Amino acid sequence: MSRRVLVTGASRGIGRAIAIELGAMGFDVAVHYRSQEQQARETLEEVRKRRAHRDDAGEGALLAFDIADREATERALLADIEARGAFFGVVCNAGVTADGPFPGMKPEAWDRVLHTNLDGFYNVLRPLVMPMVRARRGGRIVTLSSVSGLMGNRGQVNYSASKAGLIGATKALAQELAKRQITVNSVAPGLIDTEMADEAPVEEILKRIPMRRLGRPEEVAAAVGFLFSEAAGYVTGQVISVNGGLV
């Protein structure tokens, strides 16, 4: 039986790369999106191509909901579990930014980032954890934090707070689920070549990166793939940075 994995925010960028990586590893991937249905379909098609050669290839699925909407998220996930069964793994990748200096930060910018990035952890995982436990197959949970959550970043007090909170939540949940053989880890990317980097002062940041280049979404996906592998079965409560040496 194929093992099902949910990747949130998988319509583009890092999420798409993660979905494709996990599909190539043999997982049956549910591609989540909020509004970009066409891009999500393209992701799912690429996942299916990577799995086509496998005897246990699943069809995958598309799931649409806003992770900041607790009730809608729960309804969508419980309906999917009823139809297709419990997930083996979850990648909490979906997130937003609303950057700006803290003294001038509007309340809605703070709320939107915290409700999506941090509340989304609860909204997505709470309906999924007990079905994972009851399935008695172990499992994998990976959250996507950020270098901003580890060291802070000017103009990103809200984003840094949300990503630092994710790390704390990840470490605590890892303690709760370890005896169930469900690992919970976080990957903290640095500056990655995605649309989000278009709004960053790239040239200035590159001076602080020893490798002097942006990371690729596939390099973040590879770290997630390792955490989903059998080799990582004794790795839990950890944060893996993918940042080119940025300190």
CA 87 to chain centre: 15
Q: Which residues are catalytic?
A: 159
Q: Phi and psi at residue 183, in whole multiples of 5°?
A: -90, 145
Q: What is the DSSP string of the chain?
A: -PPEEEETT-SSHHHHHHHHHHHHTT-EEEEEESS-HHHHHHHHHHHHHHHTT-TT----EEEE--TT-HHHHHHHHHHHHHHH---SEEEE---------GGG--HHHHHHHHHHHTHHHHHHHHHHHHHHHHHTS-EEEEEE--HHHHH--TT-HHHHHHHHHHHHHHHHHHHHHGGGTEEEEEEEE-SBSSGGGGGS-HHHHHTT-TT-S-B-HHHHHHHHHHHHSGGGTT--S-EEEESTT--
